[in-house]
Amino acid sequence: MKKNIIIIILVLMLIAPLPIFSATNDFVANGNITVTGVTFGAGTADMLILDTSTAESWTFNSGTFTVTNPGTFKVGSSDSNVKSIKTTRGSVNTCTENAVPGTTYVTLSTTAGTYTIIPLDTTDCTTLCATVSNAATYNSYPTCGAATCNSGYSLSGSGSSATCVASGGGIILITTYCSSVEYDEWQESCVNGLQYRNVLSHSPNNCTLTSSQEDNRKRQCGIMQAEDTTAGVPATDSKGDITLAQITADAEVIALGDINQVVAEMGVRRNLAAEINYNETIVEKIVVGSGITAEVRNIITNFVSYGTKSTKILGAGERAGVVNSFQAAFGKLPTTVEDWNDVMKIANGRWPNQRNKQTETNATQAFRKVYLREPDKTDPYDDAAVTIIAYGLRPADRNLDSEKTAIKFFKAIYGYNPFTATAWDIIRAIAYSGATR
């Protein structure tokens, strides 16, 4: 009887999921170890811990692969889609191109700390470097900075501070104008008939205000500024639906990346604490491993933090969910006005302009699993269900009772709680499309 109990326990240990591996003593790899399901953009990739690697411990939890206090720890990937491998330890980043999948590997630094392993689809690690005007090539990541310059420009400085300046004799003065400016409240006093306000912040550092930005610092005294009654209020048609013109205007404001214009459109004051919080939490979950630039990340943070006129009704978490649905549908994060136009359409329950055949095929398969039949594309309810699953269209009016019921159906069908963007899109299709079995 005791032997049978031991066998049963061993079997349960073998079939139970093991989402986290952690070694309490020093870890030594006796052969290559495959770490499956590491977060890779909108999907996952398999990573390899190479034979003889050592560390205090390594962990894998919900797609995140970390290594603590490495000795000689080597990480690679046999997945040809993994073009490079990035490692982070606090603010210290390194990146190595996965030149020969399955053979190329990254050797972690022996500096004590916890390292996060991030597979990227970036072919060249220097694409992670900040742009330097007129640079032809860059130093290896993460040093970055210009390595060589375009014709007519010469290298100035070295390493991360290297820039490209116009060739020729004499002293060259380069003026960098501000890309964005945040102003303080208007001062009560007047000087020579003008009222002024100070600059609270500007980007980049040490930039020079443009003439129009300087003009925005002053106005005539005694002239009351008309209150903007349109701030934060979307344009609607005769049915009360948000217009396509409003959606297009919102996309242009967000894609521009000017935080001052965003808050002005919404009629609110900037909240830096909220931006930092959202950037480090829900935005981080969306962009991790994507390899996007800091500028694109800031634009996403602006959208999540403040929204737009057409997405004001959504909360910050739901706006982040809309970006996540766009990423799941198209395999990328929004970077252009066209991308953001589709994000706004998804948020307002409208069909996006861009389409993804594979995503729609996957949505059709999900429809079959949920409704136990083929979708009838001539039926508006079936067509709506497939489109909602594919692109995550949000309803104009939420019904929490319908969503609760839809969650129960999802769990009964799939056997687990929803946690991915696609899973929640399926729930929205069940709750709002009108399709039936």
Residue 273 forms part of a structural domain: yes
Q: Is the domain of 302 the same as that of 389?
A: yes
Structural domain span for residue 150: 131-166
Higher pLDDT, 177 or 59: 59
Q: Is the domain of 38 the same as that of 98?
A: yes
pLDDT at 404: 93
Q: Is the pLDDT of residue 24 over 90?
A: no
Give the model confidence (pLDDT) of 342-375 as tens digits.
999 999 999 999 999 999 999 999 999 999 999 9
Greatest pairwise CA separation for the chain in angstroms? 99
Residue 18: beta bridge partners?
A: none
Q: Is the domain of 282 the same as that of 344?
A: yes
pLDDT at 229: 55
Q: Is the domain of 279 the same as that of 394?
A: yes
Would you give the distance in Å from CA 198 to the centre of its chain?
33
pLDDT at 156: 82
Give the model confidence (pLDDT) of 366-424 as tens digits.
999 999 999 998 999 999 999 999 999 998 888 889 999 999 999 999 999 998 889 99
Q: Is the pLDDT of residue 123 over 90?
A: no
Interatomic CA distance for residues 122 and 125, integer angstroms: 7
Residue 232 forms part of a structural domain: no
Q: How confident is the model at residue 165 (pLDDT cuts 50, 70, 90)?
A: confident
| Mean pLDDT (the chain, rounded) | 83
**Full strand arrangement of the beta sheet holding 74-76:** 33-40, 43-49, 74-76, 105-107
Higher pLDDT, 294 or 138: 294
pLDDT at 255: 95
Residues contacting residue 58 through CB under 8 Å, at least 6 positions apart: 21, 22, 23, 27, 49, 65, 66, 67, 68, 73
The domain total for the chain is: 4
pLDDT at 18: 36
Q: Is the domain of 135 the same as that of 122?
A: no
**Taking residues 421-436, what's their average pLDDT?**
92
pLDDT at 320: 94
Q: Is the pLDDT of residue 16 over 90?
A: no
Q: How confident is the model at residue 103 (pLDDT cuts 50, 70, 90)?
A: confident
Q: Is the domain of 11 the same as that of 156?
A: no
Residue 171 forms part of a structural domain: no
| Residue-by-residue DSSP string for 15-82 | HS-------SS-EE-SS-EEEEEEEETTEEEEEEEPTT-EEEEEEEETTEEEEEEESS-EEE---TT-
Question: Highest mean pLDDT: which of 101-105, 109-113, 359-363?
Answer: 359-363
Q: How confident is the model at residue 124 (pLDDT cuts 50, 70, 90)?
A: low
pLDDT at 104: 85
Residue 77 forms part of a structural domain: yes
Phi-psi label, residue 307: left if phi above 0, alpha if psi -120 to 50, beta otherwise: left
Q: Is the domain of 284 the same as that of 416?
A: yes
Q: Is the pLDDT of residue 89 over 90?
A: no
Q: Classify residue 433 as exposed, middle or buried by CB count within 10 Å of its CB (0-12, 13-18, 19+).
A: buried
Q: Is the domain of 292 the same as that of 322?
A: yes
Q: Is the domain of 250 the same as that of 387?
A: yes
Q: Is the domain of 417 the same as that of 336?
A: yes
Going by C-alpha positions, the residue among 81, 73, 83 that lies closest to residue 115 is 73
Residue 62 forms part of a structural domain: yes
Residue 76 forms part of a structural domain: yes
Q: Is the domain of 362 the same as that of 379?
A: yes
pLDDT at 173: 44
Q: How confident is the model at residue 155 (pLDDT cuts 50, 70, 90)?
A: confident
| Residue-by-residue DSSP string for 78-103 | --TT--EEEEEETTEEEEEE-SSTTT
**Taking residues 22-31, what's their average pLDDT?**
68
Interatomic CA distance for residues 131 and 179, integer angstroms: 15
Q: Is the domain of 144 the same as that of 285?
A: no
Q: How confident is the model at residue 205 (pLDDT cuts 50, 70, 90)?
A: confident
Share of the chain above pLDDT 70, in %: 89
pLDDT at 253: 94
pTM for this prediction: 0.50
pLDDT at 168: 54
pLDDT at 158: 76
Please give the single-letter amino acid code of residue 195.
Answer: Q
Low-confidence winner among 98-112, 188-202, 256-270, 347-361 (lowest mean pLDDT): 188-202
pLDDT at 14: 37
| CA gyration radius, the chain | 26
pLDDT at 117: 93
Q: Is the pLDDT of residue 284 over 60?
A: yes
Give the model confidence (pLDDT) of 167-187 as tens digits.
654 444 456 777 777 877 777
Higher pLDDT, 54 or 42: 54
